[in-house]
C-alpha cells in the first residue's frame, strides 16, 4: 500500500471515530419522568423570640367576675328579733353575695350557686383544693393563698360550700355532741348557713387544738387572717363579743367573702356584718 493510500485510510478512520463520539454525546438515553406527590407547604408555627418573626394568636382574656354591687338601698329593714329560730325567706340584696342570713332569714332548700368550682382553681392543694367555692371569689382566694405562703403560713380550708342537706348533717352532728339548745348557738340550721352561698370558708392550721379555742390568738395563721383577710374580700362573720348581734357564738375560723370593696367599707364602718349588710337589702 502506497504512503498516500495509508494516510487517506488513517484520516477516514479518525473522521469516523469523531462522528461516532459526537452522535453519542447528542443522543442521550431518554429517561421516563417519575410522578411524585406534591410536597405540602410547612405549617407556620410561632417561633421563639429572637428567631425571626412569629405569628401571634390573640385570644380574648377570661372575664373576671364582677365585684358585688355595693350601692346602698335601704329599701327594707331587717327583722329586729332575728335571734328567733324560724324560716323567713332571706331578703333580696343588690348582689347574692351580700345576702343576709341569720337564725330567722334562710335560703330555699334547693338553692345552690351555679358557678361552683374546686378551690384548686385558686391554687390550693391537698384537701383544701377539693372544697367547692363560687368562681367569683377565686381570684381573691388565690391572691390570699399567695400571701399565706409568702408569710410562711400554712392555712387549711377545712370547709367551704355546703348544700342544704350537708348543713342539716352538720347541725345534727352538733346536736348529738352538745344538745339542741347549745347547737343552735354553735351551728346554723339548714338554710341559715352562709356556707350554702358558696362564699364562706372555715379555715384552720396544722396542730391547732379544735373548735373551742381562739384560733385568731392561738396560731399565727389565725392572727394573720384576723388582721389581713379583709384585704382580699373576706370578713369574719362572727367575731368575738358579737353574739348579741349575730346570735351565734364567736367563730374565729369562719370567713365570708363579700368582695374587696365591700370588705373595706365594712372594716371602716365598724359594724357587725349583719348590721352592715342591712344597707344592701332590697336590691
Cα distance between residue 243 and residue 15, in whole Å: 127
Nearest to 253 by CA among 183, 189, 200: 200
Q: What is the pLDDT along the chain (283 residues), one digit of tens a residue?
A: 444 444 444 445 444 444 444 444 434 334 343 333 333 333 333 333 333 443 434 444 445 556 776 666 655 678 999 999 999 999 999 899 999 999 999 999 999 999 999 999 999 999 999 999 999 999 999 999 999 999 999 999 999 999 999 999 999 999 999 999 999 999 999 999 999 999 999 999 987 766 667 888 889 999 999 999 999 999 999 999 999 999 999 999 999 999 999 999 999 999 999 999 998 887 5
Domain ranges of the chain: 112-161+198-280
Cα distance between residue 175 and residue 163, in whole Å: 18
CA distances from 2 to 5, 7, 15, 181 (A): 5, 9, 20, 149
| Residue entry with cell 478512520 | 13
- How is residue 221 written as a grid cell? 395563721
CATH architecture for the domain at 112-161+198-280: 2-Layer Sandwich (3.30)
Give the global pTM: 0.75
How do residues 35-78 score in pLDDT, each as one tens digit? 333 333 333 333 333 334 434 344 444 455 567 766 666 556 78
Work out the number of other CB atoms within 10 angstroms of the CB of residue 89: 10
How do residues 108-127 score in pLDDT, each as one tens digit? 999 999 999 999 999 999 99
Handedness of CA 17, 19, 25, 27 (dihedral sign): negative
- Strand, helix or coil for residue 158: strand
Amino acid at each position: 500500500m502506497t504512503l498516500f493510500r495509508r494516510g487517506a485510510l488513517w484520516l477516514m478512520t479518525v473522521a469516523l471515530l469523531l462522528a461516532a463520539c459526537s452522535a453519542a454525546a447528542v443522543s442521550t438515553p431518554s429517561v421516563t419522568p417519575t410522578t411524585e406527590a406534591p410536597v405540602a407547604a410547612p405549617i407556620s408555627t410561632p417561633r421563639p423570640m429572637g428567631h425571626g418573626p412569629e405569628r401571634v394568636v390573640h385570644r380574648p382574656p377570661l372575664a373576671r367576675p364582677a365585684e358585688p354591687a355595693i350601692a346602698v338601698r335601704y329599701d327594707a329593714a331587717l327583722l329586729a328579733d332575728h335571734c328567733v329560730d324560724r324560716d323567713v325567706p332571706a331578703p333580696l340584696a343588690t348582689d347574692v353575695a351580700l345576702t343576709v342570713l341569720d337564725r330567722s332569714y334562710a335560703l330555699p332548700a334547693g338553692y345552690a350557686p351555679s358557678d361552683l368550682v374546686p378551690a384548686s382553681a385558686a391554687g390550693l392543694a391537698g384537701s383544701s383544693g377539693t372544697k367547692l367555692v363560687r368562681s367569683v371569689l377565686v381570684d381573691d382566694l388565690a391572691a390570699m393563698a399567695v400571701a399565706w405562703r409568702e408569710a410562711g403560713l400554712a392555712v387549711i380550708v377545712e370547709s367551704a360550700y355546703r348544700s342544704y342537706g350537708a348543713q342539716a348533717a352538720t347541725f345534727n352532728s352538733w346536736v348529738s355532741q352538745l344538745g339542741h339548745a347549745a347547737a343552735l348557738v354553735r351551728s346554723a340550721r339548714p338554710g341559715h348557713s352562709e356556707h350554702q352561698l358558696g362564699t364562706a370558708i372555715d379555715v384552720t392550721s396544722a396542730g391547732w387544738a379544735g373548735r373551742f379555742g381562739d384560733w385568731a390568738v392561738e396560731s399565727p395563721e389565725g392572727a394573720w387572717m384576723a388582721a389581713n383577710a379583709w384585704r382580699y374580700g373576706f370578713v369574719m362573720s362572727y367575731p368575738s363579743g358579737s353574739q348579741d348581734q349575730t346570735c351565734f357564738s364567736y367563730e374565729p375560723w369562719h370567713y365570708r367573702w363579700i368582695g374587696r370593696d365591700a370588705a373595706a367599707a365594712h372594716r371602716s364602718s365598724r359594724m357587725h356584718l349583719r348590721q352592715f349588710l342591712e344597707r344592701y337589702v332590697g336590691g
